[in-house]
Structure 1
Amino acid sequence: MAAITTKEQQVVVNYMSEELQTIFLSNLDEAPARRRAREAFKDIQLAIDHCLFRLSSDGVKTKEVYEVNSRGLKIFSKSWLPESSHLKAIICYCHGYADTCTFYFEGVARKLASSGYGVFALDYPGFGLSDGLHGYIPSFESLVNDVIEHFSKIKEQKKYQDVPSFLLGESMGGAIALNIHFKQPAAWNGAALIAPLCKFAEDMIPHWLVKQILIGVAKVLPKTKLVPQKEEVKDNIFRDVNKRKLAPYNVLLYKDKPRLGTALELLKATQELEQRLEEVSLPLLIMHGEADIITDPSASKALYEKAKVKDKKLCLYKDAFHTLLEGEPDETIFHVLGDIISWLDEHSSRKNKY
């Protein structure tokens, strides 16, 4: 059983029944355990006092599906659709490292769906409710291909073929969205990227010697949880203290040290992405907190400057940390949501792919 490592987690445990405590503290490495945890905590999670969960779900139709993909992995996905209003476009969401589409994003998706958008998301292999060792990415390219496979099936449905489609990527999901664009350069009407992982901030990267040792060990023990993390980095994820206390309710979040193989794949992916920013050719909305020390805001500025498309917009949020849609004060969260919806409204009226 995993140890409680923070005061906030201990507070959560104090309010749980003995049965829920057992689930909360259990090993979630494999998907069946994560699915049991989600079922046990679903009602509790959606009742927490966070502005995203106070958004109305009236007029929004949701659907949850498990499907086996071409690699034989059972993948969890969810959709949020407006029940009666005209469908402006579809949005395909790529979640961040360690996360799931079934917690904070629920509130974001409700807001987007109530604004006339069909929203689709999946948990990547190894994350959330999908098959795979928790937090393990053996191949970043394979992960991107899994996401493309899933979203392509959605876009091929006749009812969605004549509406615009957009990528929405958060943190690592931003890197995934850009790689989807590289593989499908004419398939999307645009991408909105939230603190995209184009480059790790310096505080996230170990000393050169330590990094070389970890790279060597990763070749032999890729699943090992050994990558060091600085405490100040953990504290920089959520700026709002009250929202930081709520974070442990996201029971599917991968909370351990990164696995060596995962860290190596992400490092390689960002190094390759840095060299390809000039290839980005679809309309872009790039959003980043100026105080983010997880993903480097300077890389978002470089993306804005180097992307060869003219239709691009960069929004920098003063004093904001990494989790723009989850961990900021309410007014910042709604500001970011408003920026996304305004940009989508402007671009969803355009019929042609770029």
Structure 2
Amino acid sequence: MRTCSHSLGHATEINAMRWLAHNSVVLRSQKTNNQPSWYACTSRMDCGPPATAFYTQLWTSASGESRAHLIYVHGFGEHVGRYEDIFPLWVNNGVSVFAYDQRGFGRTALDEEHKSATSSWCRSCWKDQVEDLEFFIGYESTRVGHNLPIFLMGFSMGGTEVLGIVATPPLRHHVVNRISGVIAEGPMLLVANPDAWEEEPREPGDPSDDTPEDPYEVVPIPLRDAGKWQSRNPTIIEAFKTDPLLHNYTTRQLRNDTLSSGSALAKENFKNWPKNLPLLIVHGDGDLINSCKASQDFVRDTEAADATCSPYPGAYHELHHEPDGQGLQAVNECIKWMIDHIPGRS
């Protein structure tokens, strides 16, 4: 065992194994303007709180140089492997990317050889997720140093988390002081289409809530044909159905936590958004899972001096994977916004 210490305003110490045997560095190329652009992807199981192994990826240019750093948080039920066509676009614009399979998802939960003994599918909660993100912001801040600006971005549930770590009490001022901006794609604030749900979502404490003594009991995701609502791209729909790291079930704890935390952000906690922290939300207005209107209302109602909501006409939930160039347009908008918000850039 080794002790890993990372800090962001306070000391965080955990004991966890770093599985160097599972460490891999791959050099790849992607054509940009018909010219090959080389980048590196480093993947490994890394130490996280509390004594939990997390599958992580670090995407950099082949030289390792970058002008900004992005911490990316994936959505509910998925994993970072679904972004291997997206992260190189950031790297090719001078932005390094750190991403991790969240607690309860992807290889963090399902890699039988390297995962922690306590890790299993959807075994997580809002408190754990936000504390994990706080830890990795500190982890990456220490690794890259304080001269490199850090931005947060999250999709769907991950979008709720990057908004929540800023605006959900207890407020984490040390986090806000370290990041230069936040991007949320299709965040789960409010449900978009109740007809897509097999049962009405209920918040913890609701008298009709049937949460058992074991909050980690596995239950089906209460969405009707979840893959159908992800994208208009048939390739993505098929991949969603066949990916061995995706499953169509959750736990009552995580289901309730995600819905209630998003609702609290939409109805009350938007008031806590710092005035001087830039915010961009991109959202498909055809999203049948998460409400685009709630994203627009969040931006409208926050007191941030620099906040934008960019709706994409007709786009479904996975905006970044939408066909006919719409997904690429959204990714490029996020990249340009981030570059434009690098501190000191004229």
TM-score (structure 1 length as normaliser): 0.76
- Which of 240, 250, 256 is the matching residue for 2:248? 256
| Bigger RCO of structures 1 and 2 (CA < 8 A, at least 6 apart) | 1
The answer to whether structure 1 residue 217 and structure 2 residue 204 are counterparts is no
* Aligned twin of 1:187: 178
- Give the whole-Å Cα distance in 1 for the aligned partners of 2:286 and 2:248: 24
Q: Tell me which residue corresponds to 1:124.
A: 102
Match of 2:229 among 230, 236, 239: 236
* Equivalent pair of 2:279/2:308 in contact (CA under 8 Å): yes
Does the CA contact (< 8 Å) of 2:121 and 2:250 recur in 1? Answer: no
- Residue of structure 2 in register with 1:269 after alignment: 261
The letter of the residue matching 1:76 is Y
- Structure 1: runs of 5 or more not aligned: 1-37, 39-45
Moved more, 63-72 or 143-152: 63-72
* Aligned length, in residue pairs: 297
Which of 293, 296, 302 is the aligned partner of 1:301? 296
Task: Within 5 Å, give how 1:72-87 maps onto structure 2.
Answer: 72-84=51-63, 86-87=65-66
Alpha-carbon contact 1:284-1:313 (below 8 Å) kept = yes
Q: Deviations over 1:181-231 (max 9, x none)?
A: 242232211011110112222425524799968722344453231453223
Q: In percent, how many aligned pairs have the same letter?
A: 20
Q: From the two aligned structures, give the one with the greater strand fraction.
A: 2
1:337 partner amino acid: V
Q: Does 1:287 align with 2:278?
A: no
Seen in structure 2, the aligned counterparts of structure 1 residues 209 and 245 have a Cα distance that, compared at 3 Å, is closer
**TM-score w.r.t. length of structure 2:** 0.77
Q: For 1:348, what is the secondary structure of its paired residue?
A: coil
Q: Which residue pairs with 1:14 in the alignment?
A: none
Relative distance call for 1:208 and 1:88 in structure 2 (3 A) is closer
Counterpart pick for 2:153 among 168, 171, 189? 168
Mapped pair 1:311 → 2:306: yes
1:107 to 75, 81, 85: 85
In the other structure, the counterpart of 1:197 is 188
Secondary structure of 1:107 counterpart: coil
Q: Secondary structure at the residue paired with 1:216?
A: coil
CA distance in 1, matches of 2:190, 2:223: 17
Q: Which runs of 5+ in 2 are unaligned?
A: 1-21, 23-27, 109-114
Please state if 1:350 is matched with 2:325: no
RMSD between superposed Cα atoms in Å: 3.0
SS of residue paired to 2:339: helix
Quick one: which amino acid aligns to residue 186 of structure 1? N
Q: Higher helix fraction: Structure 1 or Structure 2? A: 1
Q: Which residue of 1 aligns with 2:68?
A: 89
In the alignment, the residues of structure 1 paired with residue 329 and residue 215 of structure 2 have an alpha-carbon distance, to the nearest angstrom, of 43
Deviation at 1:85, TM superposition (A): 7.6
Q: Which of these residues, 67, 77, 89, is aligned with residue 46 of structure 2?
A: 67
CA distance in structure 2 between the partners assigned to 1:224 and 1:173 by the alignment? 21
